[in-house]
A and B are shown apart, each in its own frame.
Chain A
Amino acid sequence: MTQAPELKLVPTPGQTVGPFFGYALPYEKDSELLAPGHPRSIRLHGNVVDGDGAPIPDALLEIWQADETGAISRETGSLVRDGYTFTGFGRAAVDNVGHYTFTTVNPGPTESGKAPFIAMTVFARGLTNRLFTRIYLPEDTEALADDPLLASLDAERRQTMIAEREADGSLRFDLRLQGGAETVFLSYPRES
């Protein structure tokens, strides 16, 4: 791969989502990429905590992912869900104790042999710009070992991006914005 070309324009700066997004950004079924109880559905959930380990009650999370076959949806309708179309996008405000829940599917690999993951964006009051991370599925250990991003991290940091599979099939993924087990957050090429 060649070097990414220089940007022509300087990107507009981000700002915190602030405390009052709760009446504007959440919408009906925002966190339900699939109806809860649907035979294909799984629960993705976890806590969002600060540098003291205290829950962050005013965070907003978004996910974007492929379906079980690894296909990326090009369908509209994430804001007005019809109950049948998988659009791949979801949004969840955390509750008063910093816990979030999505209803979704296990993503498949977008190319065979690749480790599947869910892309996530984090917003919160007190967080001055959005953060990006990935939620890897824990099962395909061979693909995880081959993943270039995970391979570039030490074992402890790598673990912060791999979800835990619970007995009922749920995925558990906690976010720590600061501190010892701080979640790995990502930067991408061409951000400036």
Chain B
Amino acid sequence: MSQPPVGGQQPALDPAATMDSQDKLTGEIESIGADYAAAGRLETQPRLDYPPYRSSLLRHPTKDPHHADPETIELWAPAFGQRDVHPLEADLTIQHNGEPIGERIVVAGRVLDGDGRPVRNQLIELWQANAAGRYMHKRDQHPAPLDPNFTGVGRAITGPNGEYSFTTIKPAPYPWKNHHNAWRPAHIHFSLFGTDFTQRMITQMYFPGDPLFALDPIYQTIVDPKARERLVATYDHSITSHEWATGYNWDIVLTGSNRTWMEDDAQDEEH
């Protein structure tokens, strides 16, 4: 097992941690939001430079990304399959001897590309805190209980229509050190691959109506209200199952494939 960076530094004090109040942070968030609304230019992805998220201050590139026409390797993505992921890895509630504590949920949806095509046979990974807001990670020192029956890591391979379904436990909000009394809305981290390497993405899924949305500098790195709502799952009673689990639907859209349209284009030229 290649070891993640644990121990040593952290987490007692994040170097970027400040004692700023939530009111100050909310003021910064609202002011950026007002400037965005006034500018009238649509943004659909998070800002790399977003000062309210203090850890981003020294970690965002200052130069605009340089446009690249994708080369052959970038038009393909790694292949994952049954050899990589066991079907039971999509159920985070059966990884130990007992039932984990908390609200059992099913999160299901589809992975599509920007053209609406299903992304088939591709890897989805997720990780999350438990029902008390604690991660099974050495650096997480939030004094909330670990659950010996919940690790909070799952994987799946998408089906023929790009579909996926995870059974898990609803995670709780947890505190972090961005500012004084900072709390993250409940979320599940998702990692996705497409058909092209250029579609690779990692994001977070949220739950409807979370009162922490307006206060959270990570959710708010996406300054467009409609764009950030794309990260919020929908309660879906058709996914809910009788006397077992409540259900949420969340579809994920990757960027457009460059391979498929360039291939179509090449075929057109041949005709």
Q: Could you tell me which B residues sit within 8 Å of A by CB distance?
A: 1-11, 16, 44-48, 50, 53, 55-63, 65-74, 76-85, 112-116, 123, 125-127, 129, 135-140, 151-153, 155, 189, 191, 197-198, 200-204, 218-219, 221-222, 227-228, 230-231, 252-258, 261-262, 265
Contacts and interface: CB of A to CB of B under 8 A. Distances in A.
B16 A23 contact: no
Q: Please report whether the interface of chain A is mostly helix, strand, loop or mixed according to DSSP.
A: loop
Given A95-B5, A96-B5, A182-B62, A21 B83 contact: no
22 contacts: A1-B69, A5-B261, A7-B115, A9-B113, A9-B115, A12-B203, A13-B46, A13-B203, A13-B222, A20-B135, A26-B4, A56-B59, A62-B200, A66-B73, A76-B83, A76-B84, A125-B59, A129-B46, A149-B69, A188-B70, A190-B257, A192-B255
Contacts of B78: 64, 73, 78, 87-89
B48 A12 contact: no
A131 B61 contact: yes
A14 to B, nearest CB: 5
A155 interface: no
Interface of A: 1-2, 4-5, 7-31, 50-52, 54, 56-58, 62, 64-66, 72-80, 87-89, 92-96, 107, 110-111, 114, 117, 119, 121, 123-132, 134, 148-149, 152-153, 157, 177-179, 182-192
A179 B2 CA distance: 30
B253 A10 contact: yes
B66 A129 contact: no
Contacts of B261: 4-5, 190
| Interface SS, B side | loop
A15 B253 contact: no
Contacts of A129: 45-46, 48, 201
B44 to A, nearest CB: 5
A136 B69 CA distance: 15
Nearest to A8: B116
Given A110-B73, A178-B61, A23 B136 contact: yes
A187 B67 CA distance: 5
Contact of B203 (A15, A134, A153): A15
B262 A178 contact: no
Given A8-B114, A12-B201, A12-B203, A126 B56 contact: yes
A4 B72 contact: no
Contact of A51 (B48, B59, B191): B59
Contacts of B136: 23
Contact of B80 (A22, A25, A78): A78
Contacts of A114: 71
Contacts of B70: 188-189
Nearest to A120: B197
Q: Which 8 A-B pairs have the closest CB atoms?
A: A22-B4, A190-B256, A126-B55, A24-B127, A89-B78, A76-B81, A7-B114, A79-B84
